[in-house]
C-alpha cells in the first residue's frame, strides 16, 4: 500500500493572509510542517499543494516537492483531489494541515495505520475533551461515534446534549471528543467525495465531513492523546513561542 501525504497551503487566508510564509523562529511555517511530516514512517511521498507562486518557489528552495493547484478550491480536500488527478500510483492520500508547524508525526502514522483494514475508505483522529472551554467552543468540532469507532455525527455544538444536567457538570457525566482535522482517504473515495454537492448538514454546521456522512460514506476514527497548535490568527503565534521556544 502506497501512501502520499499532501499539505494544502494557500496564501489568501481570510484571518491570516500569507501565513504559510510567516517566520517562526527563523523558519517559515510551511517548511516546519514539511520537515515534521518528513519524519513519518508511513508516507511514500510528500507534496505541498498550493495556488500561489510565492509558496511554490519557497518550497522548491528548501528542497520540498510542490504541485500548483487551482485558486477556486473551497477546501483542502478539493486541493488534494487535484493533486491526485495529476499523479498516479498511490492507494491512500493523507490530507495534512498546513498551519500546524509542530504536528506530531506519530499522529500521521496512526491515521495511516487505519488503512491496513481494506474496508476503511476515510479515516480521521479524535481527542478526548478535558476542558469546558473546548467543549463549548464552536470553533472546535465535536464528534460522536459507535462501538466500532465509526463516526455518527460531527457538530460545533457539544453532542450529546445532557437533558436535565447543568452544563458545568457535562464533562463529569459524559466523555466528549473533539475532532482533529487531519484526514486520510482511499484514492477512489477522494475522487468521489469531491464531486458531491454541498449537503444540508454541511451547510448548517460548516463542516465538510458531514457531506460525506450524509451521502452514506463511513468515517473511521482513531483516538490520539497528542495535542498540536494550529496557527489560525497572528495571535496564535504567541502560543507557539511559549510552548516550543519558552518565549
* Separation in Å, CA 247 to CA 21, 25, 26: 21, 10, 14
CA angle 235, 241, 243 (to 5 degrees): 110
Q: How many Å separate Cα 10 from the centre of its chain?
A: 14
Cβ distance 185 to 92 under 8 Å? yes
Give the pLDDT score at 126: 98
Whether the full predicted model's pTM is greater than 0.85, yes or no, is yes
- Quick one: cell of 125? 483522529
- How would you write the pLDDT of the chain (247 residues) with one tens digit per residue? 999 999 999 998 777 889 999 999 899 999 999 999 999 999 999 999 999 999 999 999 999 999 999 999 989 999 999 999 999 999 999 999 999 999 999 999 999 999 999 999 999 999 999 999 999 999 999 999 999 999 999 999 999 999 999 999 999 999 999 999 999 999 999 999 999 999 999 999 999 999 999 999 999 999 999 988 888 888 888 888 777 776 5
Nearest in space to 210 (alpha carbons), one of 197, 227, 222: 197
Question: What gap in Å lies between CA 81 and CA 83, rounded to an integer?
Answer: 5
Amino acid at each position: 500500500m502506497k501512501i502520499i501525504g499532501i499539505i494544502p497551503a494557500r496564501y489568501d487566508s481570510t484571518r491570516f493572509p500569507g501565513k504559510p510564509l510567516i517566520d517562526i523562529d527563523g523558519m517559515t511555517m510551511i517548511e516546519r510542517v514539511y520537515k515534521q511530516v518528513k519524519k513519518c514512517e508511513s508516507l511514500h511521498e510528500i507534496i505541498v499543494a498550493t495556488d500561489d507562486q510565492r509558496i511554490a518557489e519557497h518550497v522548491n528552495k528548501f528542497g520540498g516537492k510542490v504541485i500548483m493547484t487551482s485558486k477556486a478550491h473551497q477546501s483542502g480536500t478539493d486541493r488534494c483531489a487535484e493533486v491526485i488527478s495529476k499523479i498516479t500510483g498511490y492507494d491512500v492520500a493523507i490530507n495534512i494541515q498546513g498551519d500546524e508547524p509542530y504536528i506530531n508525526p506519530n499522529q500521521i502514522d496512526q491515521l495511516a495505520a487505519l488503512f491496513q483494514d481494506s474496508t476503511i475508505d476515510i479515516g480521521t483522529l479524535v481527542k478526548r475533551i478535558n476542558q469546558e472551554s473546548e467543549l463549548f467552543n464552536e470553533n472546535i468540532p465535536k464528534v460522536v461515534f459507535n462501538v466500532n469507532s465509526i463516526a455518527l455525527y460531527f457538530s460545533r455544538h457539544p453532542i450529546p446534549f445532557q437533558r436535565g444536567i447543568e452544563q458545568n457538570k457535562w464533562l463529569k457525566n459524559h466523555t466528549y471528543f473533539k475532532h482533529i482535522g487531519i484526514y486520510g482517504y482511499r484514492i477512489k473515495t477522494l475522487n468521489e467525495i469531491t464531486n458531491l454537492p454541498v449537503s444540508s448538514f454541511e451547510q448548517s454546521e460548516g463542516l465538510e465531513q458531514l457531506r460525506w456522512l450524509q451521502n452514506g460514506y463511513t468515517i473511521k476514527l482513531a483516538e490520539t492523546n497528542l495535542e498540536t497548535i494550529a496557527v489560525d490568527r497572528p495571535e496564535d503565534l504567541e502560543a507557539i513561542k511559549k510552548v516550543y521556544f519558552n518565549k
